[in-house]
Amino acid sequence: MKTTKKDPIAKEGYVFIASFALASLLIKNKYLKSALIGASAFSTYFFRNPKRQINYTENMVLSPADGTIVDIGKSYERFFFKSKVQKISIFMSVFNVHINLAPFKGVCLDKIYNKGLFISANKPKASIENEQCALLLENEQGQKIVVVQIAGIIARRIVTYTKPLDNMEAGDIIGLIRFGSRLDIYCEKELNLAVHLNQKVKGGDLIGYL
């Protein structure tokens, strides 16, 4: 078992928290002041980065995100596999933790960023039309998956820390998406699933076995 050891707030959140808090000190209007204090508090909540207990053994695929499973099926993966493979989609509302985690121990082989639209991330066509960043990941057994961070109607910023040739431990932070979004997982080899449609998951939960 691994306990993730991280800062309690994602570093990208500090500018939002501080900006709203500072603005609230400079504003006289009590209603606007209250709104700014609320925005600072919400930013603290949104960018929270809780510790997670990571239970990982080989061939596991862990959830890279908190959210709801909104799609399980076969779909064409256009960046790397360029074929129809198993896909699991996780929708992250603005109330979910938006830190994204490595789904297994392995290496990042490649990364592709693709500009696009900002339609609601809970719609299936968001997987095709929205702005996104795709990571090709390989575990220690040589099995590959693609993790795609997808921006949503409110989320306008994808942050991806992981880059090609980076090694990762299961549960390491690979990035985040700001303010409501979606994450797709494409598996070259079909997973033996441990989740079902509409299930709520947290980052580090077991998705299935390769």
The catalytic residue positions are: 181
Rounded to whole angstroms, how far apart are CA atoms 81 and 114?
16
Q: CA 64 to CA 73: how far, in whole Å?
A: 18
H/E stretch holding 42: helix 30-46
User: Please, are residues 192 and 131 in contact by the beta-carbon 8 Å criterion?
Assistant: no
Three-state secondary structure readout of 119-139: CCCCCCCHHHHECEEEEEEEE
Do the beta carbons of residue 50 and residue 97 sit within 8 Å?
yes
What span, in angstroms and rounded, lies between the C-alpha atoms of 105 and 49?
A: 20
Rounded CA-CA distance 26/124 in Å is: 43
